[in-house]
Amino acid sequence: MDILIATRNNDKVREISEILDLPDTRFVGLDGFPDCPEAEETGRTFDDNAMIKASQAAYYSGLWSLADDSGLVIDALDGQPGILSARFAGPDYRDNWMKVLELMQQVPAEKRTARFICVLCLVGNNNRAFFTRGEIEGTITAEPRGSNGFGYDPIFLPTGFDRTFAELPPPEKNRISHRAQALKKMRALINGLAAPGSPKT
Ligand code: ITT
């Protein structure tokens, strides 16, 4: 069966496709649906925004649609950038992590705790929504390190590791990340949909 990945962020599409290895499922992107308008992420939580994105994509495409709403929650910044992670300073990844490092210049090492959160929402044409969530704890580095991954990866050091997400090889990040954890829980559900005899769109 086909599932639409309801995002225009190609870094997410790449990670989701790499992590989910499902032979009976074909993942298609929003590029195939140019008329589908940009979802307005007006929610107050990751769950709200994941549901807005998934239900809009399902409505326009008629396909089961999987949305990812994710972000970096930093304790010393009262949870910022949180649901506003994509545009904390603007559309550019570097501007966004630079803003975090600037705001945290005076924050000592022991107070630099943070976590990445990922909420996935899968919506079918019967409009039922299924949610999973993944989180990974870590700290914010003083300087950016590494060039793999995307977004805030150069400044996020996962707990128990001495390399940032951007220094880890992609398969290693994809084994432990917030997105990997949420997808692991979603995988069984998607597999069930693709199984013979299960309801299709
Ligand atoms: P869509 O809304 O189209 O899905 P988006 O990038 O705008 O794409 P979000 O609103 O969910 O998506 O914002 C997620 C942002 O959080 C993303 O742009 C990154 O800045 C950050 N982020 C999420 N997961 C990340 C990861 O694994 N590594 C680094 N940064 C991440």
The CA–CA distances, whole Å, from 111 to 35, 74, 141, 142 equal 45, 10, 11, 12
> How much distance in Å is there from the Cα of 111 to the middle of ligand 1?
24
Pocket test of ligand 1: the residue of 135, 152, 173 to mutate, having most ligand atoms within 8 Å of its CB, is 152
**Cβ neighbours, 10 Å, residue 192:** 10
pLDDT score of 125 more than 80: no
Average pLDDT over residues 62-78: 97
Strands 2-5 and 26-29: parallel
Of the candidates 140, 184, 147, the residue with the CA atom closest to the CA atom of residue 22: 184
The structure's pTM equals: 0.94
68 catalytic? Reply is: no
> How do residues 149-186 score in pLDDT, each as one tens digit?
999 999 999 999 999 999 999 999 999 999 999 999 99
pLDDT score of 201 more than 50: no
Average pLDDT over residues 134-150: 98
Domains of the chain: 2-194 (3.90.950.10)
Pocket test of ligand 1: the residue of 70, 100, 183 to mutate, having most ligand atoms within 8 Å of its CB, is 70
